[in-house]
Structure 1
Amino acid sequence: MGEFKALVVEKDEESGKTSAGVKTLSDAHLPEGDVTVAVEYSTVNYKDGLCIGPGGGLVRNYPHVPGIDFAGTVETSADARYKPGDKVVLTGWRVGEVHWGGYATRARVSADWLVPLPQGLDTRQAMAVGTAGFTAMLAVMALEDHGLAPGRGEVLVTGAAGGVGSVATAILAHLGYDVAGVTGRPEQGTYLEGLGAKRIVAREELNETVKRPLERETWAGCVDAVGGAMLARVLGQMMYGGSVAAVGLAGGAGLPATVVPFLLRGVNLLGIDSVMQPYDNRLRAWERIARDLPMDKLEAMVVPATLDDLPALGADILKGQVRGRVVVDVGG
């Protein structure tokens, strides 16, 4: 029986409080699954912060191993699609929430949840992308599928210094779009310009709800990670036929908007879900990532970490204090 190292979250039943620490476990602790993977890298997303900490209603059973993403090498497989030595990536499918995840040197999962590592990426780069970058590419693809093309006008990215926003900014700029990045952290302006943003928009400019359902047509498209009042405001500023890809709710789940932008300007609000995304579209997105995300820009987003760093990073990401993409070397 082998052993592996993992970040384990435990819950005190009396107090309801959780604690997280790195432990050594035996393979007998691994959940059921078709494929066992030697995990090399993972990453940190907002959901991970919830699962490392209070749970956010995502974790059903304790003790728990979080980590909604991982990349590594197949060790054993009972599924013909994968064999030992294959490089694989996992994002979504509620792994790291309901099912034990990637904050471990070994994981066992359903073969249906995996995709082959895209040609042109290594496992570290795949986790620099992670769920955040995968979601960003899904958003860009949805905007393009609804008519967005370079030269149509500025494309807005809200929460631009976060994980999804950083990758979306880099991809859109690489594809030739004029990107306007929204951030509430003025000190991140240079970082965003380095990713390709043509201009920086202060969060305060868009954070107020206005009574007018329509404002001047400003944006040809938008990747929105904020939701709430900012999304409502942006909808009223979209150009005729423009689309907003909604990927997050950092500013709240409510939407204090009217239907007027949809009826008078033909605006589209596109919901982006990365968790249950069908396999074929996953492959399409990862192929596009390998082709359209500049690796030098990706590297500029990376903050390295180990399993021991995760409790503090989980708290930081919940406070909006993590920039770019954290890459966790689980064996480091």
Structure 2
Amino acid sequence: MNHDQARELLERLVSRVDRVIVGKRTEIELAVVAMLYGGHILLEDVPGVGKTMLVRTLAACLGGTFGRIQFTSDLLPSDVTGVTVYHGQSGQFEFRPGPVFSNIVLADEINRAAPRTQSALLEAMEERKVTVDGVTRALPKPFLLLATQNPLEYEGTYRLPEAQLDRFLMRLSLGYPGPEQEVEMLGRMLEQHSVTEIKPILLPEEMMAMQRQVRSVLVDDTVKRYLVSVADASRRQPQISLGISPRGTLAWMGASQAMAYYKGRTFVIPDDVKAVAGAVLPHRLVLKTEAKMNGLKGERLVQELLARANVPIFVKASGGKA
């Protein structure tokens, strides 16, 4: 698959999802960019703004197998990963895989489950494998986790630990639609077909081929130094107790490569870096208590860090300048 063919398929994918999730094209594009890198996505917002519908529509357009986990307070880790069952007649143990053994997994309202159950996803998210009863099993490829969560102010929620938040490539928020967008949404719903009737636009093997091509997108040393300078500044920011980790810097670079690929380029420019920063970085920052009390948000601090960083003017690509 050449770059032009990939760009055409991705544009069809975004346009198809945009017909279902009205007025959120930027968020849809970022979700597709995350998938191109093979990263997991956390959708955080109030109930009823289309988080689950976005995930279901993306899954329908991408094809492959789909698993859904409805997280509740009584959900057990085995309900996520699977369980080994003993058959008395045959005298053998049989493994029954959980919903995590799918190409695309929807972890719906992930922060309603207890921390022990949330942690059952850590190995799957990081290593694309699951260990049950001492046996490690690989997850299907590609494997993408898209989780939704309600704000912590809502009852019955548990805070996701920093180690798990750091494994999400992006955190996105849809927000309420504008009045005109909501009117359009109501009109579309009268004509809308079921999500189950959406035909796949991308096959799993095509997505994997694109993911391999994303890894080959050129990142010039000037861009790498730009990424590191912002990450280093976050670690010395007085309002931040934990800045961007090296894993966060790697994730930021990978997301920038995916954005460049989505835009049809074989090299990263600073605009790609900035385009994904707001989704990749804020949830990786741990603010000090005083900063939280003053109403500071990670998104604002990220914008301040970017504003103070020296942006590279020239980026070499295949021996030339962008």
TM-score bin, normalised by smaller chain: under 0.3
Instruction: Return the structure number with greater helix share.
Output: 2
Instruction: Return the structure number with greater strand share.
Output: 1
TM-score by length of 2: 0.27
